[in-house]
Amino acid sequence: MSRTGSQILIDVLKKEGVEYIFGIPGGVVIPLFDTLFDADLKFILTRHEQAAGHAADGYARATGKVGVCIVTSGPGATNLTTAIATASMDSIPLVAITGQVKTHLIGSDAFQEADVTGITRPITKHNYLVKDIKELARVVKEAFYIASTGRPGPVVIDLPVDVTTDTWDGDIPEKVDLPGYKPAYEGNMRQIKITAEAINRSKRPVVYAGGGVISSNSSKQLIELAEKANLPVNTTLLALGAFPEDNELALGMLGMHGTVPANYAVHESDLLIAIGARFDDRITGKIDEFAPHARIIHIDIDPTSISKNIRVDIPVVGDAKHILTELIKHVNYVDRKEWFEKISEWKKKYRLSYNSTNDVVKPQYVVEQICQATKGKAIITTEVGQNQMWAAQYYTYTEPRSFLSSGGLGTMGFGFPAAIGAQLGCPDKIVIDIAGDGSFQMNIQELSTAVNYKLPVKVAILNNGYLGMVRQWQEMFHDKRYSHTRLDGNPDFVRVAEAYGAAGFLVEKKEDVRPVIEKAISINGPVVIDFRVDPEENVFPMIPAGQAISQIKGVELI
């Protein structure tokens, strides 16, 4: 039976188990949306293409499934590129379908034409321009396979309008055959045994767990390894929740705004066990002084990541879940009394804290109260900046996929649409976007989406009247020359929320923080809370960019 390209696309999406599609229609995708009209798929109409990509990304992070979005050609596709780059940097499985002008018009500067494959090539795991309907079904199946296997990432399918209207009577392939793409899942057994021997001999080991632990669903194996071998564990921003922060072996977050124990442990370790991490600059600081006394083990499914930024002594290529399952069999419990006594001293001396003697609402206090009110069981999304770091530091994460944030690209405007995607993927969870007043305004229009689909997403704005993290750097490194970081003219967020049909609350007193949070959680619909916080509160600890991780500023304030 002949089917149009649009019908073929929808059929493959169904076969891939797609639950939600996020996006916005436009000229060249009208035939596709006409087919969607009768399709048994849930389409979420966002109010901006970037938000559609972030919502699909949030859905993927929260569920572990592939996120899907559809936008039109030209500006629709270019608006999506920030979301694609965000997913790429954080290794998130995404299939982005972009409309394109008719095949014979490609390259002619036709109306709403853009070279999407050229633009997105550096920010995708793979991309396709489909010029023949006979290739469409195969391409879509390959896109899902590539996005979700190996090191996950976004795949773009650029789809000319005439391909969607052409007809074909061929079958959808049952299997994917990509001879040049064979991710290695099972690590080399010899390397695994060498890793176990190094762990068993080490006196000052520390685990450095990255987002790959969550991508590979290996949190359970990480916990088992740490407890069997008696290993302290720190996590990156994107790995928060991969190892329970209430476990006595937990050191907290590593890196620029990580805990002192986590950073000091890496600096003093004799063995660093990196799992699903990529040694980015926000973790390593000054590379020449990173883990100077340690042999380094790197477990990662992406062989190109190993020794890319930091020289590795013991590489193990493969899926973290497979490798950790084998590694657990070969490690032994070692007491390491002196090492843990030193770590215990750091934990006691350098606890996260802040000055809360006055009645000014502190952002850290707001995050603590959100954690207590939700019993640490919510999905927290964040924007980027100070709000992101306070959310990372002062909420206690005990489960994977409970903290969703733009790590590598640092995309302001990510958190709110990501929360929408997460809420759709996890309808029984409380989902809260901890936002800054600057970041929230970058996708504030998605209040309409949340209201339209009756999603009980909560937004907690830590409103300090500044682009806070930039202001902090201006204070610390540029003599408080606050060049264009003060947000004069911020709207009344409560009235904006109400104008969209959401609930809105203003909190200016510390005593009102917890009651309003509880009130917001009780409302079965979207809520915006405008917390007026200390305008010049800073995020500490902090390792200045390019400095060694042992050179922590703000320690004296903790």
Q: Is the peptide bond before 541 cis (omega within 30 degrees of 0)?
A: yes
Over residues 505-513, the mean pLDDT reads 97
Residue 555 above 70 pLDDT? no
Inter-residue contact 461 to 490 (CB < 8 Å): no
Type of residue numbered 361: V
Residue 487 above 60 pLDDT? yes
Q: Are residues 242 and 156 in the same domain?
A: no
Structural domain contains residue 183 = no
Q: Are residues 372 and 502 in the same domain?
A: yes
Residue 558 above 50 pLDDT? no
Q: Are residues 215 and 318 in the same domain?
A: yes
pLDDT at 356: 84
Write out pLDDT tens, residues 90-128.
999 999 999 999 999 999 999 999 999 999 999 999 999
User: Could you give the number of structural domains in the chain?
Assistant: 3
Domain final residue, candidates 323, 349, 375: 349
Q: Are residues 19 and 161 in the same domain?
A: yes
Write out pLDDT tens, residues 412-442.
999 999 999 999 999 999 999 999 999 999 9
Q: Are residues 145 and 219 in the same domain?
A: no
Type of residue numbered 266: V
* 336: three-class secondary structure by DSSP: coil
Residue 52 above 80 pLDDT? yes
Residue from 321, 316, 283 nearest 298 by CA: 316
- Whole-number Å distance between alpha carbons of 263 and 488: 37
Task: Give how far the C-alpha of residue 160 lies from the chain's centroid of Cα atoms, to the nearest Å.
Answer: 31
Domain final residue, candidates 349, 377, 407: 349
Q: Are residues 315 and 287 in the same domain?
A: yes
Question: Which of the 8 DSSP states describes residue 171?
Answer: P
pLDDT at 482: 96
Residue 198: give its domain's CATH number: 3.40.50.1220
Q: Are residues 379 and 508 in the same domain?
A: yes
Q: Are residues 241 and 149 in the same domain?
A: no
Residue from 350, 422, 439, 431 nearest 386 by CA: 439
Q: Report in angstroms the alpha-carbon separations of 209 from 12, 157, 219.
A: 35, 32, 10
Q: What percent of the chain has pLDDT over 70?
A: 99
Q: Are residues 370 and 411 in the same domain?
A: yes
Over residues 64-85, the mean pLDDT reads 98
Inter-residue contact 43 to 23 (CB < 8 Å): yes
pLDDT at 34: 97
Structural domain contains residue 499 = yes
Residue 557 above 50 pLDDT? no
Q: What is the mean pLDDT of the chain?
A: 96
Query: Which pTM does this prediction carry?
Result: 0.97
Q: Please, what is the end-to-end C-alpha distance for the chain in angstroms?
A: 70
Q: Are residues 414 and 513 in the same domain?
A: yes
Structural domain contains residue 432 = yes
Residue 179 above 70 pLDDT? yes
Q: Region of 159 please: left (phi>0), alpha (psi -120 to 50) or beta.
A: beta
Write out pLDDT tens, residues 229-243.
999 999 999 999 999
pLDDT at 556: 55
Structural domain contains residue 289 = yes
Q: Are residues 339 and 401 in the same domain?
A: no
Residue 357 above 80 pLDDT? no
Structural domain contains residue 556 = no
Write out pLDDT tens, residues 185-206.
999 999 999 999 999 999 999 9
Structural domain contains residue 217 = yes
The secondary structure element, H or E, covering residue 315 is strand 314-317
Class of residue 304 by CB neighbours under 10 A (exposed 0-12, middle 13-18, buried 19+): exposed
Domain final residue, candidates 292, 315, 349: 349
Write out pLDDT tens, residues 449-463.
999 999 999 999 999
Q: Which domain holds residue 78?
A: 3-168
Over residues 487-497, the mean pLDDT reads 97
Write out pLDDT tens, residues 293-348.
999 999 999 999 999 999 999 999 999 999 999 999 999 999 999 999 999 999 99
- Going by their DSSP bridges, the two strands 314-317 and 295-300 should be labelled as parallel
Structural domain contains residue 301 = yes
Q: Are residues 373 and 290 in the same domain?
A: no
Inter-residue contact 130 to 163 (CB < 8 Å): yes
Residue 528: give its domain's CATH number: 3.40.50.970
- Quick one: pLDDT band at residue 215, thresholds 50, 70, 90? very high
The secondary structure element, H or E, covering residue 463 is strand 458-463
Over residues 85-89, the mean pLDDT reads 98
Structural domain contains residue 354 = no
